[in-house]
Structure 1
Amino acid sequence: MGYGLTSSSVLVAAGLKPATASASVHLAQVGTTLASGLAHRRAGNVDEASLKKVAPPGALGALAGAALLSYTPAATARLLSATLLFGLGAIVALRFYRIAPRRAEAAGAPSATVLRLIGLLGGFVDSTGGGGWGPIATSGLLAGSSLPPCRVVGTTSASEFFVTVAAVAGFCATHAGGGGGHGARLDLLAVLLLGGVSAAPLAPRLVTCARPRMLGVLIGGFIMLTNSKTLLHAAGAGESVRSCCQAALLAAWLAALASVRRHADDEEAPAGKAGPQD
């Protein structure tokens, strides 16, 4: 869920143009999402009905987002990308900090319309922000579905392959057409691809035993901290103000991690043992 967001945040913060960073990450994700989707399918974590409804609009949204990002001036694109990434990081961190894990209850599967809207928004944000499909699709499916978390993660991972292919096609089309797009960095692509493909087969095993709140707060806070520099610079903040703001954000992030850590044992208590409610 944090691959595209984290990778894009690091690359943009390092000075790479948003379109180049997003294109590099998405090209690497063609391999990583394929490996991840196949691994989840073998583990029985993919819900075919939801996959068929969320993947096509996700691909359409990704095409539109790639075109918009490639035709946007570099400075504006960097600000847009940082804003989206920071906002998504905040959503991820707050969601996992405030909401304790709950066992799936019979809530009925989300309607086809809801799934299509989730797909369209997730695909668009994924291309323009360099990532975001995981948080949006996973949150949407968890909020309105009776699927267990492992199947939500598996369905999100499998559908992301189609979204990624569409995003790459959009970047390639605008680049070939002279629309201002920027090609992927092959050196970065090789490293991202190697790391992602190596880690993908572990996901089905870890998804049922990892502490989701700790991981969510960790990833979300990292994304916020990484993109805050770009936002503060765009706001005209001086170096001392930027340092103070980032220090405050870092302190809040570490405090949130410590709080989640303290309550982790109670929140993940085995069934039959009552734990404190958030």
Structure 2
Amino acid sequence: MPELGEFWIFLCVGFAAQLIDGALGMGYGVISSVVLLASGVPPAHTSASVHSAKLFTTAASGTSHLLHGNVDRRLFWLLSLTGVMGGVAGALFLTQVPGKVIRPYVFGYLLIMGLLILWRCWREGKERHVLPGGFVGPLGGVGGFLDAVGGGGWGPVVTSSLIGAGARPRQVVGTVNAAEFVVTCAVVAAFATTLLTGFWSEGEGLLDHLLPIAGLVLGGLPAAAVAGFLVKRAPRRAMTFAVAFLVIVLSSYELLRLGDIFTTPSAAQPTVSTPFIAGMAK
């Protein structure tokens, strides 16, 4: 069955993405979002689906980091508070913009995220303790907003910025992962509220993506459970480069396809990219 094949594909995507995310503090949302978008899922549905899956994976990952002593509690609360505000604002914004209009911008944003991850691959700073305050609060708000709009980006924005400022990587990855669970809960609640109140006009059809969500959850949970261990042992530089390469290639490919679609004079030309995941599942 094509549907069952699609489930197994997203299960593998969820496992690989969360394995990388647990080690680097980034990757699950960006990778999952770019694959869903490339398979034809609208941007708002993509973000809602990915965040629904992240409810489970971030809970497991955050707990693992907490048990391994990777969480700075003061930094956690500040990032959570400002991230929630930014995430809710991003979800509300995304539900009010037609998918056809925002789709190229979301892919452009994901391409920038890929380049940001690649930049982090070469960026190294001296370790020092970063106290909550200064740029940390606004950083959480920006990260939450972009994460809700793009379906991913909390890790690339927040983790990269804190490590670039000189914070200890292990503490940053653990704290950002733990705070992501709180932000994800707020984003999912915002999507659910707009759907139930009719504020989200394009919300119908969201339940059609239950199989990809289930695959992302069931694939991501085993990897999330060992996140606290992975952050100490994984080959970070190689994995960072692999994530950046994947996101840049997929985003660039889809932007080129969308560019061809928008410049084609035929009115019959489709406005979304070919759902290659569905084709692979057949």
Could you tell me the TM-score, scaled by structure 2's length? 0.78
Structure 2: any 5+ residue segments left out of the alignment?
Answer: 1-25, 265-282
Look at both structures and tell me which one has the larger radius of gyration over its CA atoms: 1
Question: Please, which of 194, 198, 201 is the counterpart of residue 222 of structure 2?
Answer: 198
Query: What is residue 127 of structure 2 aligned with on the other side?
Result: 105
TM-superposed deviation, 1:126 = 0.3
Query: What is residue 113 of structure 2 aligned with on the other side?
Result: 88
Letter in 1 for 2:225: P
TM-superposed deviation, 1:220 = 1.1
TM-superposed deviation, 1:112 = 1.2
Measured against aligned partners, the alpha-carbon deviations of 1:71-109 in whole angstroms (never above 9, x if no partner) come to: 11111121121111111011101221x32x55x533x42
Structure 1: any 5+ residue segments left out of the alignment?
Answer: 240-278
2:42·2:99 contact (CA, 8 Å) conserved in 1? yes
1:27·1:168 contact (CA, 8 Å) conserved in 2? yes
Q: Which has the higher contact order (CA 8 A, sep 6+)?
A: 2
TM-superposed deviation, 1:110 = 4.2
Query: What is residue 141 of structure 2 aligned with on the other side?
Result: 120
TM-superposed deviation, 1:32 = 0.5
C-alpha distance in structure 2 between counterparts of 1:143 and 1:217, whole Å: 16
Query: What is residue 243 of structure 1 aligned with on the other side?
Result: none
1:60·1:120 contact (CA, 8 Å) conserved in 2? yes
Aligned residues: 234
TM-superposed deviation, 1:159 = 0.2
C-alpha distance in structure 1 between counterparts of 2:67 and 2:163, whole Å: 21
- The share of aligned pairs that are identical, in percent, is 37
2:74·2:132 contact (CA, 8 Å) conserved in 1? no
Query: What is residue 92 of structure 2 aligned with on the other side?
Result: 67
2:117·2:240 contact (CA, 8 Å) conserved in 1? yes
C-alpha distance in structure 2 between counterparts of 1:159 and 1:219, whole Å: 21
2:60·2:225 contact (CA, 8 Å) conserved in 1? yes
C-alpha distance in structure 2 between counterparts of 1:219 and 1:144, whole Å: 22
1:110·1:141 contact (CA, 8 Å) conserved in 2? no
DSSP-derived class of the 1:112 partner:
coil
Could you tell me the TM-score, scaled by structure 1's length? 0.79
Query: What is residue 259 of structure 1 aligned with on the other side?
Result: none
Matched, 1:210 2:237: no
